[in-house]
Amino acid sequence: MIQIGKIRNTHGLKGEAKVMNLSDFDRFSPYSVVFVVMNGEELELVIERVRRQKDWFIVKFEGIDSIEDVLPFKGLDLYTKEDASSQLAEDEFLFADLIGKKVIENGRTVGHVSAVIPVPQGHLLEIRDNDKKILVPFVKAFIGPITDDAIIIYPIEGML
């Protein structure tokens, strides 16, 4: 399963949820099937309707018709079983495929990707090496070839 969102809060009284999108793909649409893990059990949810509100999605799931129905889902992660890798262009990557990759600069390992952080300008790679954290913009000016196990970076002075 691939994490695609997080139910942050309820919205209104009619069973809608405020959802944070964690996917670069449009995975929140009517009749889409998503999953949550509640008490160790995988539960299927079908999206009845969805609309955008600023940076959030307001999602109504089938069978969840009141604020009391949606409250137990607050804080849970949303997952999909759909593989989006076939939708990727040659220079596109899934966040999950980048996390854990070794990061190399001038032949030396500077750390491993610990997160991909969305920002208004694009994305940042969070690179960790023990207790040190580095943020590198995920743009061609700083990112070189990406292989199955490593990412080459071209940092500017002071970035590392």
**Full-prediction pTM beyond 0.75?**
no
User: 95-153: which CATH architecture?
Assistant: Roll (2.30)
The correct CATH number of 2-82 out of 2.40.30.60, 3.90.228.20, 3.30.450.40, 2.60.40.10 is 2.40.30.60
30-34, 119-123, 142-146: which range is least confident on average? Answer: 119-123
Q: What is the DSSP secondary structure assignment for residue 154, as one 8-state letter?
A: -
Alpha carbons 148 and 157: distance in angstroms, whole number: 27
Alpha carbons 71 and 82: distance in angstroms, whole number: 26
Residue 57 phi, psi dihedral angles, 5° rounding: -110, 135
pLDDT at res. 24:
65
Per-residue pLDDT band at 116 (split at 50, 70, 90): confident
